[in-house]
Amino acid sequence: MTIDYHHLKQRQFPEVRQSYTEKDCMLYALGLGLGADPTDRGQLQFVYEEGLKAMPSMAAILGYPGFWIKDPDTGADWKQLLHGEQRLRLHATLPPSGTVIGRMSVKSITDKGAGKGAIIVTERRLTDAVSGALLAEIEMLTFCRGDGGYSAGGQPSDSLDSALPSPPDTAPDAVCDLPTRPESALIYRLSGDANPLHADPDVAATAGFERPILHGLATYGIAAHAILKTWCGYQPEQLTALDVRFSAPVYPGETIRTEMWRQGDRIAFRARVLERDRIVLNNGMARLRT
């Protein structure tokens, strides 16, 4: 099979109604490593029910319809997929518990050419189920390595939004080192992503990894933690946008260093693992409330 542009663009996703509790909120934060210092009151407010707050990056995992691209009718080679980028716009502070509704659509499909892959961008609007208020807009860019050349028969190919900016070629204004624990992926997967790649050593080996890897969205959330800690005084309402490109996997137990550059109300950033000196997130851009 091959990608059918019109079929994918017109795909109707079921509305996802999801309720989450304070325990879910705390479990998500624990999966990112918050609470590693139990005396740090900034971290404690995300993992302790007294005055509990939600990590803003949690919006990226709510109201998601699941691994839809694996469905046979998509035509995509799901075994060749990579999570390329994640973009998030926060319109309100995420409550520590509640019910949300996720509505997703395919925004664009771009053919990079035979042997070069295709790119599918989905967009999801997350609203509060009670008030109807818009909480967040989430974009996910998926790189379909096995589906390039689909437009050769005359199907359309969309243009992409502007690329995420590269970080400055100067020393960062701040760095934040956050350790991950060996069991980080086993904790994080309880927040909804049960892909065995992150738990089963045999599956990881088949995919070419020496051991299970950390979820990309966990690394994304750890970068959000670094930004909240460094620039926001752990006030989640101060973070209004978080965009990033995924560049390499993290192994649980490694230390993630987030390097940040202040640019007015924006923070350019990237992240690397110290143990291998490997950049794992790049072209990051966060926006702060002025």
87-98 residue pLDDT tens: 999 999 999 999
The helix/strand/coil state of 185 is helix
Q: Examine the residue annotation and report whether 213 is marked as an active-site residue of this protein.
A: yes
How far is the C-alpha of 69 from the C-alpha of 55, rounded, in Å? 27
Mean pLDDT of the chain: 95
- Alpha carbon 147 to chain centroid, angstroms: 23
Note every long-range contact of 167-172, with CB atoms under 8 Å and residues 24 or more positions apart, other chains counting: 167/259, 167/261, 167/268, 167/269, 167/270, 167/282, 167/283, 167/284, 168/261, 168/268, 170/261, 172/259, 172/260, 172/261
Q: Is the pLDDT of residue 86 over 70?
A: yes
Give the domain range for residue 44: 5-288
Exactly one of 198, 215, 221, 222 is catalytic; name it. 198
Q: What angle do CA 4, 7, 13 make, to 5 degrees?
A: 130
pLDDT band at 229 (very low <50, low <70, confident <90, very high): very high
Q: Examine the residue annotation and report whether 193 is marked as an active-site residue of this protein.
A: yes
pLDDT digits (tens, 9 = 90+) for 24-65: 999 999 999 999 999 999 999 999 999 999 999 999 999 999
Percent of the chain with pLDDT over 90: 87
Exactly one of 147, 193, 222, 243 is catalytic; name it. 193
Mean pLDDT of 226-243: 98
Question: pTM for the complete prediction?
Answer: 0.95
pLDDT digits (tens, 9 = 90+) for 155-204: 999 999 899 999 999 999 999 999 999 999 999 999 998 889 999 999 99
Which CATH number is 205's domain given?
3.10.129.10
Residue partners of 263: CB distance under 8 A and separation at least 6: none
pLDDT for position 78: 83
pLDDT band at 251 (very low <50, low <70, confident <90, very high): very high
How many domains is the chain built from? 1
Percent of the chain with pLDDT over 70: 100
Cβ burial 127-141 (10 Å sphere, 16+ → b, else e): bbeeeeeebbbbbbb
Nearest to 46 by CA among 269, 236, 248: 236
Exactly one of 216, 227, 256, 284 is catalytic; name it. 216
pLDDT band at 1 (very low <50, low <70, confident <90, very high): low
- Alpha carbon 199 to chain centroid, angstroms: 19
Exactly one of 3, 120, 138, 213 is catalytic; name it. 213
Q: What is the CA radius of gyration of the chain?
A: 19
Higher pLDDT, 67 or 271: 271
Q: Examine the residue annotation and report whether 198 is marked as an active-site residue of this protein.
A: yes
